[in-house]
Amino acid sequence: MRKKVIRILAILIIMMLIPIPMRLKDGGSVEYKAVLYKITRIHRLNEQYEGGYENGWKVIILGMQVYNKTIPTGNK
């Protein structure tokens, strides 16, 4: 009985760590969502820069943002 409970818990933990990729319609960003975390690879258009866009990463773990860095790039 104890081994069965441990197996079920291990399967649940693994399922909470498997991400599902989602493409955003903002210029090419990709968001990887799992139950425990969300990672976003940012590549979006930015009208503030002439012909430019933003690149970067955003990481959210357990609902708290732990990393956010976007850099404007493109022609100036």
Each domain of the chain, given as residue ranges in start order, spans 19-74
Q: Does the predicted model carry a pTM greater than 0.85?
A: no
CA-based nearest residue to 74, from 57, 49, 56: 49
- pLDDT, tens only, 22-60: 999 888 899 999 999 999 999 888 877 666 788 899 999
User: Between 43 and 74, where is the model more confident?
Assistant: 43
CA proximity to 22, closest of 12, 34, 11, 13: 34
Instruction: Answer for the pair 28, 44: CB distance below 8 angstroms, yes or no.
Output: yes
